[in-house]
Amino acid sequence: MNRREFLETVAAAAALPSFARQTASQSEWGSPVFDLHFHMRPQPAANLAHLDGAGVTKANLLTRGAAFDQVKAIDAAAPGRFTWFNSYDVTKPDAEQVLTQAVKAGAQGFGEMKFHVAADGPELRRMYALAADLRVPILIHFQEVDHFKDEGAWSTGYAKTFESILKANPKTTFIGHADAFWANVSADYHNQAAYPSGPIARGGVTDRWLSNYPNLFGDLSANSGNNALSRDRTFTPDFLKRHQDKLFFGSDCSCNDGHGAGTSQANNPAAARLAGKCVARETLTVVKRSTSDEVFRKIVWGNVHKLLQIPA
């Protein structure tokens, strides 16, 4: 190829819509990939840079408050590659009204719900009921241990109280996420660290509840999900197999390029193990090496399409 032909080839590739460029990325993981936990970035190009860089086909934009115009702009830049969830301060009296409007405008779920309230408190209880009424899933951040001084905890009391919520709300689709959700795959967790390490004591509440409650699902994103899958290699393959219809791949990655540039875990000191890395890539890698091609495809692609009732 001479220089002119080379330049023409480069120009032709650059002119392709980004959707078409996904063919190569799909093969990178051996399956198309859907990122359930992707916080919307203001510029459409920044969203696409992460998806394309990490080999992700589609993503669910997590938004808070008024987001419709931004979602529309991103969707216009890459038709068919994004769904979206919306969240809103659950302590505000108009929370139900705002979230109902968001669903009417096309939001396919609530999330992420990350507020300094109790997991079984009145603020979230009304959201659980509304999610059932509107038939959308609700994605919740559970965290009991601060990452930064005086940060405060989020959706507290998970291990002690959430089973009663699962029982009381059989029509609500719950998606659990974050530190307390994933640390509780181990039966010996008592809020002693944000991200416990070492062998997993079998029979933790999250593992049992995923088995016992059809309305509970797990979002594998962030250091929390990655840590749960990485800390005990004898645990992971059976866990993925056992809950192969209940787990979703998500990244919660904030790196710039899908390769770890910039900041991947909001400079959280407790998550330093993922500094300089793309959480999407790290978690896809651990899931892929720990399970069959069939189960991998369900977790990174099939399950979320069933959840959101959209064609795969």
Site string for Zn ion, 130-149 (x = CB under 5 A): -----------x--------
Q: Evaluate whether 57 touches 310 at the Cβ level (below 8 Å).
A: no
Say how many residues touch Zn ion, by CB under 5 A.
Answer: 6
Please identify, using beta-carbon distances, which residue of 64 and 202 lies nearer to Zn ion. 64
For residues 173-212, which are near Zn ion according to CB under 5 A?
Answer: 178
Burial class (CB in 10 A: 0-12, 13-18, 19+), 87: buried
CA distances from 14 to 7, 11, 49 (A): 11, 5, 14
Rounded to whole angstroms, how far apart are CA atoms 137 and 84? 12
Cβ proximity to Zn ion: between 141 and 298 the closer is 141
How would you class 205 by CB atoms within 10 Å of its CB: exposed for 0-12, middle for 13-18, buried for 19 or more? buried
Q: Are 215 and 166 in contact (CB under 8 A)?
A: yes
278 binds Zn ion per the rule CB under 5 A: yes
Q: Which is nearer to Zn ion, 225 or 244 (CB)?
A: 225
Closer CB to Zn ion, 41 or 208, in the complex: 41
Q: Closer to Zn ion at the Cβ: 44 or 244? A: 44
Find the binder of Zn ion among 62, 228, 253, 299 (CB under 5 A).
253
Q: How far is the CB of 138 from Zn ion (least distance, A)?
A: 13
Distance of closest approach, residue 141 Cβ to Zn ion, in angstroms: 4
How near is the Cβ of 193 to Zn ion at its closest, in Å?
17
If one counts every other C-beta atom within 10 angstroms of the C-beta of residue 309, the result is 8
CA distances from 169 to 123, 127, 153, 178, 215 (A): 15, 11, 23, 21, 8
Q: How far is the CB of 109 from Zn ion (least distance, A)?
A: 14
Which CB, 101 or 263, lies closer to Zn ion?
Answer: 263
CB of 275 to Zn ion, least distance (A): 12
The token pair that represents 184 in the structure block: 């509780």
> Across the beta sheet with 174-177, what order do the strands follow?
34-39, 58-64, 82-87, 110-113, 138-141, 174-177, 216-219, 247-248
Shortest Å distance, C-beta 311 to Zn ion: 27
3-class DSSP assignment, residue 294: helix
Which positions touch Zn ion (CB under 5 A)? 141, 178, 253, 255, 278, 280
